[in-house]
Structure 1
Amino acid sequence: MWYDNDLIRLLKVKYPIIQAGMAGGITTPDLVAAVSNAGGLGSIGAGYMSADQLKKTIQEVKTLTDQPFSVNLFTPEVVQVDQNEIAQANEWLSRFRDELNINETPSVVNITNENFKQQVKVIIEENVPICSFTFGIPDEDIIKKLKAEDIIIIGTATTVDEAIANESAGMDAIVAQGSEAGGHRGSFLNKEAVPMIGTMALVPQVVDHVGIPVIAAGGISDGRGIIASLGLGAEGVQLGTAFLTSEESGSPQVAKLAILNAQETDTVVTTTFSGKPARGLLNDFIKEMRQYEGKVPSYPVQNSLTQPIRAKAAKLNRPEYMSLWCGQNLRSSKENSANQMVIDLVTQVEDVINKLFQS
């Protein structure tokens, strides 16, 4: 049976299908619960949540499902805050604020990892069964605390070396994120030249160099992608863009429509929105800010500076100034319930298997 492996036994789910923990309000409690109730693993994208917001979301998910779900956290990146750099970035961004009638100019004083620590505390207090990490590996004491509570922990890797580092740190499984994936790159070992290795090349190499389950991510949106990933040695898949357009997704309708009407040639990788490379639909903001690529403040500083622009643009249905994160497999995007999406994925996998054996 295609879904009988170590990963499903580890996660205690029926199918090795994971909904990516997309931050920014996309992973609503309804979405997380719908995926988990259908036999997959729903994930709360908690990257930008406060500890209180995370606690409330977890408790809401618990009222909607008794199945396992996970929380995805952003491993904190504490960077030096350069006020001159911020002033320059704000000058570049002023024209967007003016057009959207945003009167306040954002500022960043300092960056700490305190919220991250509080998020971990909430996860432990709420007995969340699974926690995944993006942007790096948390400190050893965090890993020990989670493992002491028997919480399954999953890391993210964009190279073989990053996968090995995750395994060495004590991760129970690894998401191998190919360059086709939407949203932020999970790279952390080489920040000067962010790796852009495709899923098909990355997954088998990671599988050959680690002994824990590998989860393929990037460009997977149907049964063919799942079977291909399993054939490469992965024990599961993680899908983000596929669930972005689900009925339960918290993504603004204007963003869903942009994705549904886009194709594989419409995405680019940019640092202009957040200071960290991320894949999304090319729009006017990216085009106009391209000249400053590599000069904007590092993540999470730039992310804080553009947050009011992104929020106001979403409120006004102005996709040209929104961060429309999505992967390269856009033509497969559909509007449907998340529950039905999981059912369809399972059916598609079994159809592919039947065709392979019939031939």
Structure 2
Amino acid sequence: MSTRRLEDLLGIEHPIVLGPFGGGLSTVALVAVVSESGGLGSYGANNLGPEQITEVVGELRAATARPFAVNLWVPQPGESDRPDDLARHVERLRPYYEELGVSPPNLDEPFGQDFDAQIEALLAAEPPVISFIMGVPPERVIAEARGRGIVTIGTASTVDEAVALEAAGLDAVIASGNDAGGHRGSFLRPAGESLVGTFSLVPQVADAVSVPVVAAGGIADGRGVAAARTLGADGVQIGTGFLMTAEAGASPVHRAILSGPEARVTVLTRLFSGRHLRVIPNRFVREEAAFEDDVPPYPFLNKLMLPIRRAGTADHSSLLSGQAAALARPRPAKDYFDELVSDTERILRDRA
């Protein structure tokens, strides 16, 4: 429990990593607070183009002199193959477009970002840390990152995925349990066969790899941090708890629901993006449940749903949440971070 492998690797004071939010939920302000507090702030850049990535890294450097991470999704095989029936899905969703007064997306425009262009821009910008989800990044990317002095972190939802990430040469592994909010990062087997809880996954990954292990999923207070460290994790990654802080990019609607009794229930659904996503269920999820296995894959459904999600209503938004939202509460990020550190240290000290 006293290991400082993660702190030494990343150049941080406390082994707490901010979860990298997608969909505009990441903010420079939140990353800066976590990094300045001694943790590793992380920014989700999957939806950004190359020029935006360059700009964001510049903004992060201006906001903090401490280490920070930028996160990208690794493309999965076949996901660039356009389905033949997109028009059918547009018609299925048309009642929602009309209800919200928005237009369907232009199907002739690109679906999602080009990973090769994204990673080239990110490597050129040289952030201190690059983290990945959804797969093993290409060998050339890992090699170039190492040559530029950039630390690389991969995300695993199973032991086999953690072993694959270490074998590929990544510097650390995030053991992301099924408790975690947001998208599931499974890549060796289907998400339905990779639903391992955090506190089952962490000790197995810690035993299976020699690189530092970061526990993620269902951790929102000092008790969770202490438990993860006791199980062999070198640190933790926290998403939902920080999503409720003042500096996060969550909408007022999202924040209100995270703080209410609705957040006690979460589901995994493909209805918002084509990939499995843990959210608080709302009217859209319940009405469209019958189509769970009949939606186009990512990134195609993701684009079809973008106008609906951006409408920002409680009934239609993708309300990202892990299973421990009830353990967190709205407050400034600095206060939350400091409480995590002090409570963890007290718990581990009392149990020593």
Aligned to 2:245: 246
The alignment status of 1:39 with 2:38, answered yes or no, reads yes
Aligned to 2:94: 94
In the alignment, is the contact (CA less than 8 A) between 1:79 and 1:298 conserved in 2? no
Q: Residue 61 of structure 1: SS of its match in structure 2?
A: helix
In the alignment, is the contact (CA less than 8 A) between 1:108 and 1:304 conserved in 2? no
Identify if the C-alpha distance between structure 1 residues 108 and 304 changes in structure 2 by more than 3 Å, giving closer, same or farther.
Answer: farther
Identify if the C-alpha distance between structure 1 residues 348 and 145 changes in structure 2 by more than 3 Å, giving closer, same or farther.
Answer: same
What residue identity is the alignment partner of 2:47? Answer: Y
Q: Residue 91 of structure 1: SS of its match in structure 2?
A: helix
1:109 Cα deviation from its structure 2 partner:
6.2
Worse-superposed segment, 281-290 or 70-79: 70-79
Aligned to 1:218: 217
**C-alpha separation between the residues in 2 aligned to 1:128 and 1:88?**
42
Give aligned pairs, total: 350
Q: Residue 174 of structure 2: SS of its match in structure 1?
A: strand
How do 1:230-245 and structure 2 match up within 5 A?
230-245=229-244
**C-alpha separation between the residues in 1 aligned to 2:6 and 2:221?**
19
1:208 Cα deviation from its structure 2 partner:
0.9
**C-alpha separation between the residues in 2 aligned to 1:311 and 1:264?**
20
What residue identity is the alignment partner of 1:107? Answer: L
Identify if the C-alpha distance between structure 1 residues 300 and 50 changes in structure 2 by more than 3 Å, giving closer, same or farther.
Answer: same
Q: Structure 2 stretches of 5 or more lacking a match?
A: none
Aligned to 2:83: 82
1:192 Cα deviation from its structure 2 partner:
6.7
Q: Deviations over 1:249-279 (max 9, x none)?
A: 0111111111011356421000010110110
Q: Deviations over 1:299-325 (max 9, x none)?
A: 11111110111012x1xxx11100001
The alignment status of 1:323 with 2:318, answered yes or no, reads yes
**C-alpha separation between the residues in 2 aligned to 1:192 and 1:180?**
13
In the alignment, is the contact (CA less than 8 A) between 1:223 and 1:346 conserved in 2? yes
**C-alpha separation between the residues in 2 aligned to 1:283 and 1:267?**
10
Q: Deviations over 1:132-172 (max 9, x none)?
A: 00111111112221111121100010111111110111110
In the alignment, is the contact (CA less than 8 A) between 2:266 and 2:322 conserved in 1? yes
- Alignment RMSD (CA, Å): 1.6
Aligned to 2:349: 354
Q: Residue 135 of structure 2: SS of its match in structure 1?
A: coil
In the alignment, is the contact (CA less than 8 A) between 1:216 and 1:238 conserved in 2? yes
What residue identity is the alignment partner of 1:79? Answer: S
In the alignment, is the contact (CA less than 8 A) between 2:278 and 2:321 conserved in 1? yes
Q: Normalised by the size of structure 1, how large is the TM-score? A: 0.94
In the alignment, is the contact (CA less than 8 A) between 1:108 and 1:301 conserved in 2? no
Q: Residue 23 of structure 2: SS of its match in structure 1?
A: coil
Q: Residue 83 of structure 1: SS of its match in structure 2?
A: coil
Aligned to 1:280: 279
Q: Residue 117 of structure 2: SS of its match in structure 1?
A: helix
In the alignment, is the contact (CA less than 8 A) between 2:262 and 2:280 conserved in 1? no
**C-alpha separation between the residues in 2 aligned to 1:55 and 1:14?**
27
Worse-superposed segment, 277-286 or 88-97: 88-97
In the alignment, is the contact (CA less than 8 A) between 2:103 and 2:307 conserved in 1? no
Q: Residue 288 of structure 2: SS of its match in structure 1?
A: helix
1:20 Cα deviation from its structure 2 partner:
0.7
**C-alpha separation between the residues in 2 aligned to 1:206 and 1:354?**
25
In the alignment, is the contact (CA less than 8 A) between 1:14 and 1:40 conserved in 2? yes
Q: Residue 12 of structure 2: SS of its match in structure 1?
A: coil
**C-alpha separation between the residues in 2 aligned to 1:255 and 1:199?**
24
Aligned to 2:128: 129
Identify if the C-alpha distance between structure 1 residues 354 and 209 changes in structure 2 by more than 3 Å, giving closer, same or farther.
Answer: closer
Identify if the C-alpha distance between structure 1 residues 342 and 3 changes in structure 2 by more than 3 Å, giving closer, same or farther.
Answer: farther
What residue identity is the alignment partner of 1:94? Answer: R
The alignment status of 1:335 with 2:330, answered yes or no, reads yes
The alignment status of 1:195 with 2:194, answered yes or no, reads yes
Aligned to 2:19: 20
In the alignment, is the contact (CA less than 8 A) between 1:219 and 1:329 conserved in 2? yes
**C-alpha separation between the residues in 2 aligned to 1:39 and 1:3?**
17
In the alignment, is the contact (CA less than 8 A) between 1:275 and 1:300 conserved in 2? yes
In the alignment, is the contact (CA less than 8 A) between 1:3 and 1:16 conserved in 2? no
How do 1:1-20 and structure 2 match up within 5 A?
4-20=3-19
Identify if the C-alpha distance between structure 1 residues 49 and 255 changes in structure 2 by more than 3 Å, giving closer, same or farther.
Answer: same
**C-alpha separation between the residues in 2 aligned to 1:64 and 1:192?**
36
Q: Deviations over 1:114-147 (max 9, x none)?
A: x322222222222211000011111111222111
Identify if the C-alpha distance between structure 1 residues 13 and 51 changes in structure 2 by more than 3 Å, giving closer, same or farther.
Answer: same
In the alignment, is the contact (CA less than 8 A) between 2:198 and 2:215 conserved in 1? yes
Q: Normalised by the size of structure 2, how large is the TM-score? A: 0.95
What residue identity is the alignment partner of 1:88? Answer: R
Q: Structure 1 stretches of 5 or more lacking a match?
A: none
In the alignment, is the contact (CA less than 8 A) between 1:263 and 1:330 conserved in 2? no
In the alignment, is the contact (CA less than 8 A) between 2:264 and 2:325 conserved in 1? no
In the alignment, is the contact (CA less than 8 A) between 1:81 and 1:109 conserved in 2? no
**C-alpha separation between the residues in 1 aligned to 2:184 and 2:89?**
22
What residue identity is the alignment partner of 2:344? Answer: V
Identify if the C-alpha distance between structure 1 residues 14 and 3 changes in structure 2 by more than 3 Å, giving closer, same or farther.
Answer: farther
